[in-house]
Amino acid sequence: MPTLTALSRSQSQLWHKTDQTRAGMYRIVNGKRYRCKVSHRNAEDNKPGAGKDWEDYWEEV
């Protein structure tokens, strides 16, 4: 299995507020990798690992 570093370069991007994220996309926040479960526009409430509703939108992988 590839390391997080290898996956980060090829499949993941950093999370940015107001970006549009589609289901299946990966984002990195504070060194952790998350997969989007539901397409949405990023906001503080759905920020992976931190927003009050993040688990509705993301899963840590």
Average pLDDT over residues 3-7: 44
Q: Which domains does the chain have, with CATH numbers?
A: 4-60 (2.10.10.90)
pTM of the shown model: 0.75
What are the tens digits of pLDDT across the range 19-38? 899 999 999 999 999 999 99
How far, in Å, CA of 3 to CA of 23, rounded?
22
Contact status, residue 15 vs residue 27, Cβ threshold 8 Å: yes
Taking 50 as the threshold, does the pLDDT of residue 59 lie above it? yes
Q: Where are the alpha helices (DSSP H) in 1-61?
A: 4-11, 54-57
Contact status, residue 32 vs residue 48, Cβ threshold 8 Å: yes
Beta strand 32-36 pairing with 58-60: antiparallel
How far, in Å, CA of 48 to CA of 58, rounded?
6
